Amino acid sequence: MADEIPTRPLLIVTGSTLRAEELDRPLAYYFKQQVERVSLGLDVAFRPLVVADFRWMNDEPLQNLPTISVGGPGVNALAHRWFEDVPFSLAVDGQYFIQMDPELAEPRASIWGMDNPYTQIAVSVFIERFLPRFLDQAAAYATDPADPEDADD
């Protein structure tokens, strides 16, 4: 039997407002596919899970997992919570933003734009410029929650 690459959960958190459900959740599923694609080249495979902001905020074990928030502070409660706490790594013309610790001491990031088209750009930029390094750091940090199957929305 071939050696299996361990899989680690990684959360992609979207807002639970109607606007976020309509626009950011599909973007989060695209982002999930990109995480799976990029992680193929790593020694650790990720199992990205798309969850709602209030699920993450009310389920303490999930808060210990590598997490990427998609959608702005106006539609995503996690992005709102992290707005003051997580440093801005990239801010482009006041239109889109990537917040994360440059050292990635904690694997968490908030990706958002002033509207959905700019959020899409921010996600694309994050995938291109930051995702491989984020996943490398998250691989060392990741721990499994008690029941990751329960995390699916």
Structural domain boundaries of the chain? 29-146
3-state class of 54 per DSSP? helix
N-term to C-term CA, the chain: 33
Confidence of residue 3 (pLDDT cuts 50, 70, 90): low
Sign, Cα dihedral of 56, 57, 63, 69: positive
Confidence of residue 153 (pLDDT cuts 50, 70, 90): very low
Predicted TM-score (pTM) of the model is: 0.88
Nearest CA among 66, 73, 24, 72 for reference residue 49: 66
Q: What are the tens digits of pLDDT across the range 29-66?
A: 999 999 999 998 887 789 999 999 999 999 999 999 99
The predicted structure's pLDDT at residue 42: 81
Q: Average pLDDT in the 19-31 region?
A: 97
Q: Is the pLDDT of residue 118 over 50?
A: yes
Residue ranges of the alpha helices (H) in the chain? 18-19, 25-39, 53-58, 77-82, 116-129, 131-141
